[in-house]
Amino acid sequence: MEASNHRISRSRACLALAVGALTGASATVAAMLLTSIWLQGIKTTLRFELDSVPAIFALALLVWAVGLIVFGAPAWWLLHRIRMRRWQVAAALGGVLTFLVYAGLRIINVWIGRRASARPI
């Protein structure tokens, strides 16, 4: 792959993390609202769900920011070190990491659920 001449700086990395967290949180809230509209209808969604949007956005923003710092930043650093600096590579990495983190969390959730149900009451 061809490397661009862009140099990474602390301000560019922080901007990328902030934009990524805002994009992820916005997509999370949009998916929640669209799912609610599909399952409950627009009237119910507008009546009940809109009150919780700011809190859900804030929580999603926090989760995306932490996730990008813990998983995204080291992966971006690695891509930068091996001179794969194209935005398409970074976008593909973001999609793969999002899937892997979600799958890992689901597996942990199922594992914990099975262990809890195996305990005698």
At a CB cut-off of 8 Å and minimum separation 6, what does 53 contact?
Answer: 29, 33
Q: Give the structural domain span for 30.
A: 10-118
Give me the pLDDT at residue 19, please.
Answer: 93
Q: Is residue 80 part of a domain?
A: yes
Q: Distance between CA atoms of 41 and 30, rounded to whole angstroms?
A: 15
Along the 121 residues of the chain, how does pLDDT read in single tens digits?
A: 444 556 778 888 899 899 999 999 999 999 999 998 999 888 888 877 778 899 999 999 999 999 999 999 999 889 989 999 888 998 899 899 999 988 988 898 888 887 777 666 6
Query: What is the pLDDT, as a whole number, of residue 119?
Result: 66
- Domain assignment present for 2: no
Residue 1 falls inside a structural domain: no
Question: What is the tally of structural domains in the chain?
Answer: 1
Element (H, E) at 20: helix 10-40
Report pLDDT for 92.
93
What is the model's pLDDT at position 120? Answer: 66
Taking Cα atoms as reference points, which of 74, 69, 60, 75 lies closest to residue 25? 60
Flag whether 110 is in a domain.
yes
Report yes or no on 90 lying in a domain. yes
**63 part of a folded domain:** yes
CA distance 8 to 49: 40
pTM of the entire predicted model: 0.74
Model pLDDT, residue 111:
86
